[in-house]
Structure 1
Amino acid sequence: MFSGWGLTWGGWLDNRKGEWWLLAQLILIAAHLLPPWPAPASWGLAIWPRPLFGLGVLILLAGCALAGQGFLALGSSLSPLPAPRDDNRLITEGPYRRCRHPLYQSVLVCSLGVVIALGSVLHLLLLISLALVLQGKAHREEHALLAMHPSYGQYQRNVPAIVPGVPGLDWRL
Protein backbone atom coordinates (compact mmCIF):
# COMPACT_ATOMS: atom_id res chain seq x y z
CA MET A 1 0.00 0.00 0.00
CA PHE A 2 2.80 2.46 0.87
CA SER A 3 5.08 1.50 -1.99
CA GLY A 4 5.05 3.34 -5.28
CA TRP A 5 4.27 6.75 -3.79
CA GLY A 6 7.21 8.32 -5.58
CA LEU A 7 8.69 10.10 -2.57
CA THR A 8 12.31 11.03 -3.28
CA TRP A 9 14.89 13.37 -1.75
CA GLY A 10 15.00 15.24 -5.05
CA GLY A 11 11.26 15.73 -4.95
CA TRP A 12 11.44 17.23 -1.46
CA LEU A 13 14.02 19.69 -2.82
CA ASP A 14 12.32 20.70 -6.07
CA ASN A 15 8.63 19.87 -5.46
CA ARG A 16 8.39 17.76 -8.63
CA LYS A 17 5.33 15.79 -7.47
CA GLY A 18 3.87 18.37 -5.10
CA GLU A 19 5.91 17.38 -2.04
CA TRP A 20 5.71 20.92 -0.66
CA TRP A 21 1.91 20.70 -0.57
CA LEU A 22 2.25 17.50 1.46
CA LEU A 23 4.81 19.10 3.77
CA ALA A 24 2.54 22.11 4.41
CA GLN A 25 -0.37 19.75 5.09
CA LEU A 26 1.66 17.66 7.56
CA ILE A 27 2.96 20.74 9.41
CA LEU A 28 -0.57 22.13 9.79
CA ILE A 29 -1.92 18.79 10.98
CA ALA A 30 0.91 18.43 13.51
CA ALA A 31 0.27 22.00 14.73
CA HIS A 32 -3.13 20.82 15.95
CA LEU A 33 -1.22 19.27 18.87
CA LEU A 34 -0.46 22.77 20.19
CA PRO A 35 -2.43 23.88 23.25
CA PRO A 36 -5.46 26.12 22.75
CA TRP A 37 -4.79 29.81 22.31
CA PRO A 38 -6.13 31.93 23.77
CA ALA A 39 -6.73 29.79 26.84
CA PRO A 40 -10.37 29.35 27.97
CA ALA A 41 -9.63 31.62 30.95
CA SER A 42 -9.22 34.55 28.56
CA TRP A 43 -12.84 33.95 27.49
CA GLY A 44 -13.85 34.21 31.15
CA LEU A 45 -14.21 30.43 31.52
CA ALA A 46 -12.44 28.23 34.05
CA ILE A 47 -12.61 25.37 31.51
CA TRP A 48 -14.04 24.98 28.02
CA PRO A 49 -17.70 23.79 28.24
CA ARG A 50 -17.92 19.99 28.36
CA PRO A 51 -20.77 19.76 25.80
CA LEU A 52 -18.65 21.63 23.24
CA PHE A 53 -15.65 19.47 24.07
CA GLY A 54 -17.78 16.33 23.62
CA LEU A 55 -19.26 17.58 20.34
CA GLY A 56 -15.77 18.36 19.06
CA VAL A 57 -14.54 14.88 19.95
CA LEU A 58 -17.52 13.32 18.15
CA ILE A 59 -16.80 15.41 15.05
CA LEU A 60 -13.12 14.42 15.24
CA LEU A 61 -14.12 10.74 15.41
CA ALA A 62 -16.50 11.21 12.46
CA GLY A 63 -13.60 12.68 10.48
CA CYS A 64 -11.48 9.64 11.34
CA ALA A 65 -14.28 7.35 10.11
CA LEU A 66 -14.49 9.34 6.85
CA ALA A 67 -10.72 8.96 6.44
CA GLY A 68 -11.01 5.20 6.92
CA GLN A 69 -13.64 5.01 4.19
CA GLY A 70 -11.46 7.05 1.83
CA PHE A 71 -8.36 4.93 2.48
CA LEU A 72 -10.27 1.71 1.86
CA ALA A 73 -11.91 3.01 -1.32
CA LEU A 74 -8.60 4.18 -2.83
CA GLY A 75 -6.77 0.94 -2.16
CA SER A 76 -3.60 0.71 -4.26
CA SER A 77 -4.25 4.14 -5.82
CA LEU A 78 -3.49 5.82 -2.46
CA SER A 79 -0.73 8.43 -2.50
CA PRO A 80 -0.04 11.33 -0.13
CA LEU A 81 1.23 13.43 -3.04
CA PRO A 82 -0.95 15.50 -5.35
CA ALA A 83 0.73 13.75 -8.28
CA PRO A 84 -1.36 10.60 -8.80
CA ARG A 85 0.39 7.27 -9.03
CA ASP A 86 1.11 6.15 -12.58
CA ASP A 87 -0.92 2.98 -11.98
CA ASN A 88 -3.91 4.71 -10.32
CA ARG A 89 -7.51 3.86 -11.08
CA LEU A 90 -10.18 6.56 -11.17
CA ILE A 91 -12.32 5.88 -8.10
CA THR A 92 -15.85 7.33 -8.25
CA GLU A 93 -17.69 4.96 -5.91
CA GLY A 94 -18.17 4.87 -2.14
CA PRO A 95 -17.06 8.13 -0.49
CA TYR A 96 -15.83 9.34 -3.90
CA ARG A 97 -19.45 9.49 -5.02
CA ARG A 98 -20.22 12.35 -2.60
CA CYS A 99 -16.98 14.34 -3.12
CA ARG A 100 -13.84 14.10 -5.24
CA HIS A 101 -11.45 14.41 -2.29
CA PRO A 102 -12.97 12.66 0.73
CA LEU A 103 -9.57 12.28 2.42
CA TYR A 104 -9.11 16.06 2.32
CA GLN A 105 -12.68 16.44 3.56
CA SER A 106 -11.92 14.08 6.45
CA VAL A 107 -8.84 16.12 7.44
CA LEU A 108 -10.98 19.27 7.54
CA VAL A 109 -13.70 17.54 9.57
CA CYS A 110 -11.07 16.34 12.07
CA SER A 111 -9.65 19.87 12.28
CA LEU A 112 -13.14 21.31 12.84
CA GLY A 113 -13.62 18.80 15.66
CA VAL A 114 -10.42 20.03 17.33
CA VAL A 115 -11.54 23.66 16.95
CA ILE A 116 -14.87 22.93 18.64
CA ALA A 117 -13.34 20.69 21.31
CA LEU A 118 -10.75 23.29 22.32
CA GLY A 119 -12.47 26.60 21.51
CA SER A 120 -9.16 27.88 20.19
CA VAL A 121 -8.63 30.78 17.81
CA LEU A 122 -5.22 29.31 16.96
CA HIS A 123 -6.86 26.05 15.87
CA LEU A 124 -9.48 27.94 13.87
CA LEU A 125 -6.63 29.64 11.99
CA LEU A 126 -5.03 26.23 11.45
CA LEU A 127 -8.34 24.93 10.02
CA ILE A 128 -8.55 27.88 7.60
CA SER A 129 -4.90 27.43 6.59
CA LEU A 130 -5.42 23.71 6.10
CA ALA A 131 -8.44 24.40 3.88
CA LEU A 132 -6.33 26.70 1.69
CA VAL A 133 -3.48 24.18 1.44
CA LEU A 134 -5.84 21.30 0.61
CA GLN A 135 -7.59 23.44 -1.99
CA GLY A 136 -4.26 24.11 -3.72
CA LYS A 137 -3.20 20.49 -3.42
CA ALA A 138 -6.51 19.29 -4.88
CA HIS A 139 -6.25 21.69 -7.84
CA ARG A 140 -2.78 20.36 -8.67
CA GLU A 141 -4.01 16.77 -8.33
CA GLU A 142 -7.01 17.39 -10.58
CA HIS A 143 -4.87 18.78 -13.41
CA ALA A 144 -2.96 15.50 -13.45
CA LEU A 145 -6.12 13.39 -13.15
CA LEU A 146 -7.67 15.21 -16.13
CA ALA A 147 -4.63 14.31 -18.22
CA MET A 148 -4.74 10.65 -17.10
CA HIS A 149 -8.48 9.99 -17.19
CA PRO A 150 -10.62 11.45 -20.01
CA SER A 151 -13.79 10.85 -17.93
CA TYR A 152 -12.51 12.98 -15.03
CA GLY A 153 -13.98 16.16 -16.54
CA GLN A 154 -17.51 14.74 -16.35
CA TYR A 155 -16.84 13.61 -12.78
CA GLN A 156 -15.67 17.17 -11.93
CA ARG A 157 -18.87 18.66 -13.31
CA ASN A 158 -21.12 16.36 -11.27
CA VAL A 159 -19.37 15.85 -7.94
CA PRO A 160 -18.30 18.52 -5.41
CA ALA A 161 -14.56 18.87 -4.81
CA ILE A 162 -14.03 18.80 -1.04
CA VAL A 163 -17.01 20.27 0.87
CA PRO A 164 -20.30 20.64 -1.04
CA GLY A 165 -21.61 24.18 -1.21
CA VAL A 166 -18.61 25.84 0.47
CA PRO A 167 -16.98 28.49 -1.74
CA GLY A 168 -13.36 27.60 -2.44
CA LEU A 169 -13.93 23.99 -1.44
CA ASP A 170 -16.58 23.18 -4.04
CA TRP A 171 -15.59 24.11 -7.54
CA ARG A 172 -17.36 22.34 -10.32
CA LEU A 173 -16.56 22.83 -13.97
Structure 2
Amino acid sequence: MFSLGVMILLIHVSFAAVIVGLYEGKKGDYRQGRARQPESVRSFKAFYIYLHIATPIIVVMSCLGYDRLALYSHPAVMMIGTTISALGVAIFVGAKMRIGEEFAPCNDAYLPRDVIRDGVYKHVRHPIYAAFILFFLGIAITTANPITLLNWLVLGAYYVRSARFEEKALLEKFPVYEKYSKSTGRFIPRIVQSKND
Protein backbone atom coordinates (compact mmCIF):
# COMPACT_ATOMS: atom_id res chain seq x y z
CA MET A 1 0.00 0.00 0.00
CA PHE A 2 1.29 3.43 -0.96
CA SER A 3 1.77 6.15 1.60
CA LEU A 4 0.35 9.62 0.99
CA GLY A 5 3.85 10.95 0.34
CA VAL A 6 4.51 8.37 -2.39
CA MET A 7 1.12 9.08 -3.95
CA ILE A 8 1.79 12.85 -4.00
CA LEU A 9 5.25 12.21 -5.43
CA LEU A 10 3.75 10.14 -8.27
CA ILE A 11 1.17 12.83 -8.96
CA HIS A 12 3.90 15.50 -9.20
CA VAL A 13 6.00 13.26 -11.46
CA SER A 14 3.01 12.91 -13.80
CA PHE A 15 2.48 16.70 -13.72
CA ALA A 16 6.13 17.22 -14.64
CA ALA A 17 5.86 14.69 -17.49
CA VAL A 18 2.86 16.54 -18.97
CA ILE A 19 4.58 19.93 -18.70
CA VAL A 20 7.90 18.75 -20.12
CA GLY A 21 6.15 16.87 -22.92
CA LEU A 22 4.22 19.95 -24.03
CA TYR A 23 6.95 22.50 -23.26
CA GLU A 24 9.79 20.65 -24.92
CA GLY A 25 7.76 18.75 -27.51
CA LYS A 26 7.31 21.59 -29.96
CA LYS A 27 7.47 20.72 -33.63
CA GLY A 28 9.49 22.83 -36.01
CA ASP A 29 11.48 25.92 -35.28
CA TYR A 30 9.46 28.49 -33.33
CA ARG A 31 11.79 31.22 -34.62
CA GLN A 32 10.92 30.71 -38.28
CA GLY A 33 9.16 33.68 -39.84
CA ARG A 34 8.96 35.64 -36.60
CA ALA A 35 10.64 38.79 -35.37
CA ARG A 36 12.85 38.57 -32.29
CA GLN A 37 11.55 40.47 -29.32
CA PRO A 38 13.94 43.39 -28.64
CA GLU A 39 14.32 42.57 -24.94
CA SER A 40 13.95 39.29 -23.09
CA VAL A 41 15.10 37.74 -19.86
CA ARG A 42 18.02 35.67 -21.18
CA SER A 43 19.36 34.90 -17.69
CA PHE A 44 16.18 32.89 -17.11
CA LYS A 45 17.70 29.90 -18.93
CA ALA A 46 20.24 29.28 -16.15
CA PHE A 47 17.53 29.57 -13.49
CA TYR A 48 15.28 27.26 -15.51
CA ILE A 49 18.02 24.59 -15.58
CA TYR A 50 18.52 25.01 -11.83
CA LEU A 51 14.75 24.57 -11.26
CA HIS A 52 14.81 21.33 -13.26
CA ILE A 53 17.52 19.94 -10.98
CA ALA A 54 16.63 21.33 -7.54
CA THR A 55 12.84 21.02 -7.60
CA PRO A 56 12.59 17.26 -8.28
CA ILE A 57 15.17 16.54 -5.58
CA ILE A 58 13.26 18.61 -3.02
CA VAL A 59 9.90 17.11 -4.02
CA VAL A 60 11.24 13.55 -3.69
CA MET A 61 12.86 14.29 -0.33
CA SER A 62 9.73 16.01 1.00
CA CYS A 63 7.25 13.41 -0.20
CA LEU A 64 9.32 10.56 1.19
CA GLY A 65 9.84 12.32 4.52
CA TYR A 66 13.57 13.04 4.23
CA ASP A 67 13.44 16.83 4.00
CA ARG A 68 15.04 18.30 7.13
CA LEU A 69 14.34 21.85 5.96
CA ALA A 70 10.56 21.38 5.74
CA LEU A 71 8.75 23.92 7.87
CA TYR A 72 5.79 21.56 8.41
CA SER A 73 4.39 18.27 7.19
CA HIS A 74 0.64 17.88 7.17
CA PRO A 75 -1.30 15.64 4.73
CA ALA A 76 -4.11 18.18 4.18
CA VAL A 77 -1.63 20.96 3.35
CA MET A 78 0.23 18.62 0.98
CA MET A 79 -3.05 17.87 -0.81
CA ILE A 80 -3.86 21.59 -1.07
CA GLY A 81 -0.44 22.22 -2.61
CA THR A 82 -0.91 19.33 -5.02
CA THR A 83 -4.33 20.69 -6.04
CA ILE A 84 -2.81 24.13 -6.74
CA SER A 85 -0.12 22.45 -8.85
CA ALA A 86 -2.84 20.54 -10.73
CA LEU A 87 -4.61 23.82 -11.50
CA GLY A 88 -1.33 25.19 -12.86
CA VAL A 89 -0.90 22.11 -15.07
CA ALA A 90 -4.48 22.43 -16.38
CA ILE A 91 -3.98 26.11 -17.26
CA PHE A 92 -0.66 25.31 -18.92
CA VAL A 93 -2.18 22.55 -21.05
CA GLY A 94 -5.06 24.80 -22.16
CA ALA A 95 -2.75 27.71 -22.97
CA LYS A 96 -0.13 25.60 -24.73
CA MET A 97 -2.74 23.80 -26.82
CA ARG A 98 -4.18 27.16 -27.88
CA ILE A 99 -0.91 28.94 -28.59
CA GLY A 100 0.60 26.00 -30.49
CA GLU A 101 3.49 27.01 -32.72
CA GLU A 102 3.37 30.62 -31.52
CA PHE A 103 4.98 29.48 -28.25
CA ALA A 104 8.50 30.71 -27.51
CA PRO A 105 10.35 30.43 -24.19
CA CYS A 106 10.66 33.72 -22.31
CA ASN A 107 14.46 33.58 -22.38
CA ASP A 108 14.45 33.37 -26.21
CA ALA A 109 11.40 35.44 -27.00
CA TYR A 110 10.03 35.88 -30.48
CA LEU A 111 6.96 37.92 -31.26
CA PRO A 112 3.85 36.05 -32.35
CA ARG A 113 2.39 36.50 -35.81
CA ASP A 114 -0.82 37.82 -34.24
CA VAL A 115 -2.30 38.56 -30.81
CA ILE A 116 -4.14 35.50 -29.50
CA ARG A 117 -7.30 36.64 -27.73
CA ASP A 118 -9.41 33.52 -27.36
CA GLY A 119 -9.39 30.41 -25.21
CA VAL A 120 -7.67 31.07 -21.90
CA TYR A 121 -6.06 34.14 -23.50
CA LYS A 122 -9.50 35.76 -23.47
CA HIS A 123 -9.11 36.15 -19.70
CA VAL A 124 -5.33 36.34 -19.07
CA ARG A 125 -2.53 37.78 -21.22
CA HIS A 126 0.18 35.44 -19.89
CA PRO A 127 -1.52 32.16 -18.94
CA ILE A 128 1.63 30.05 -19.34
CA TYR A 129 3.48 32.24 -16.86
CA ALA A 130 0.45 32.13 -14.54
CA ALA A 131 0.39 28.34 -14.87
CA PHE A 132 4.03 27.98 -13.85
CA ILE A 133 3.58 30.42 -10.98
CA LEU A 134 0.67 28.30 -9.70
CA PHE A 135 2.53 25.04 -10.31
CA PHE A 136 5.55 26.14 -8.30
CA LEU A 137 3.39 27.72 -5.60
CA GLY A 138 1.75 24.31 -5.23
CA ILE A 139 5.16 22.68 -4.94
CA ALA A 140 6.24 25.23 -2.32
CA ILE A 141 3.12 24.50 -0.28
CA THR A 142 3.41 20.73 -0.74
CA THR A 143 7.06 20.54 0.28
CA ALA A 144 7.02 23.34 2.88
CA ASN A 145 10.66 23.85 1.99
CA PRO A 146 12.11 27.39 2.20
CA ILE A 147 14.17 26.73 -0.95
CA THR A 148 11.05 25.99 -3.01
CA LEU A 149 9.41 29.12 -1.62
CA LEU A 150 12.44 31.18 -2.63
CA ASN A 151 12.44 29.51 -6.07
CA TRP A 152 8.75 30.44 -6.45
CA LEU A 153 9.45 34.08 -5.57
CA VAL A 154 12.38 34.31 -8.01
CA LEU A 155 10.33 32.60 -10.74
CA GLY A 156 7.50 35.08 -10.18
CA ALA A 157 9.93 38.01 -10.45
CA TYR A 158 11.33 36.60 -13.72
CA TYR A 159 7.84 36.20 -15.16
CA VAL A 160 6.76 39.72 -14.16
CA ARG A 161 9.86 41.15 -15.82
CA SER A 162 9.48 38.98 -18.91
CA ALA A 163 5.78 39.91 -19.23
CA ARG A 164 6.69 43.60 -19.15
CA PHE A 165 9.26 43.13 -21.94
CA GLU A 166 6.77 41.16 -24.01
CA GLU A 167 3.97 43.65 -23.53
CA LYS A 168 6.18 46.56 -24.54
CA ALA A 169 7.16 44.75 -27.76
CA LEU A 170 3.57 43.65 -28.47
CA LEU A 171 2.26 47.20 -28.00
CA GLU A 172 4.77 48.43 -30.59
CA LYS A 173 3.92 45.72 -33.13
CA PHE A 174 0.16 45.33 -32.59
CA PRO A 175 -1.89 48.49 -31.86
CA VAL A 176 -4.85 46.25 -30.88
CA TYR A 177 -2.81 44.95 -27.94
CA GLU A 178 -3.52 48.12 -25.93
CA LYS A 179 -7.27 47.49 -25.93
CA TYR A 180 -6.70 43.78 -25.26
CA SER A 181 -4.46 44.57 -22.28
CA LYS A 182 -7.11 46.83 -20.76
CA SER A 183 -9.72 44.05 -20.86
CA THR A 184 -7.57 41.21 -19.48
CA GLY A 185 -5.38 40.63 -16.47
CA ARG A 186 -1.69 39.93 -16.80
CA PHE A 187 -1.69 36.71 -14.73
CA ILE A 188 -5.09 36.75 -13.02
CA PRO A 189 -8.41 37.32 -14.84
CA ARG A 190 -9.60 40.88 -14.50
CA ILE A 191 -12.84 41.04 -12.51
CA VAL A 192 -13.64 44.71 -13.18
CA GLN A 193 -13.26 45.91 -16.76
CA SER A 194 -11.59 49.21 -17.62
CA LYS A 195 -14.01 52.14 -18.12
CA ASN A 196 -12.56 52.66 -21.61
CA ASP A 197 -13.83 49.28 -22.85
The alignment's TM-score, normalised by the length of structure 2, stands at: 0.67
- TM-superposed CA distance for 1:21, in Å, is 4.6
What is the CA–CA distance in structure 1 between the aligned matches of 2:143 and 2:131, rounded to whole Å?
A: 18
Aligned to 1:100: 125
* Superposition RMSD in Å: 2.7
What is the CA–CA distance in structure 1 between the aligned matches of 2:182 and 2:163, rounded to whole Å?
A: 15
CA contact (8 A) 2:78 2:141 kept: yes
Aligned to 2:109: 83
Cα deviation 1:68-126 (Å, max 9, x = unaligned): 000011122111136334x5221111111111000000000000110111111111111
Q: Which amino acid aligns with 1:115?
A: A
Percent identical residues? 22
CA contact (8 A) 2:30 2:101 kept: no
Q: Which amino acid aligns with 1:83?
A: A
CA contact (8 A) 1:28 1:130 kept: no
What is the CA–CA distance in structure 2 between the aligned matches of 1:28 and 1:132, rounded to whole Å?
A: 16
CA contact (8 A) 2:81 2:137 kept: yes
CA contact (8 A) 1:25 1:133 kept: no
Gaps of 5+ in 2: 1-25, 191-197
Aligned to 2:56: 33
Per the alignment, do residues 142 and 25 of structure 1 end up closer, same or farther by CA in structure 2, a change over 3 Å counting? farther
Aligned to 2:42: 20
Aligned to 1:4: 29
**2:76 is equivalent to residue 51 of structure 1:** yes
- TM-superposed CA distance for 1:139, in Å, is 0.9
Q: 2:174 aligns with which of 140, 146, 149?
A: 149
What is the CA–CA distance in structure 2 between the aligned matches of 1:70 and 1:28, rounded to whole Å?
A: 24
Q: Which amino acid aligns with 1:107?
A: F
- TM-superposed CA distance for 1:142, in Å, is 1.1
Following superposition, which runs of at least 4 residues in structure 1 exceed 4 angstroms of deviation? none
What is the CA–CA distance in structure 2 between the aligned matches of 1:109 and 1:127, rounded to whole Å?
A: 9
Gaps of 5+ in 1: 166-173
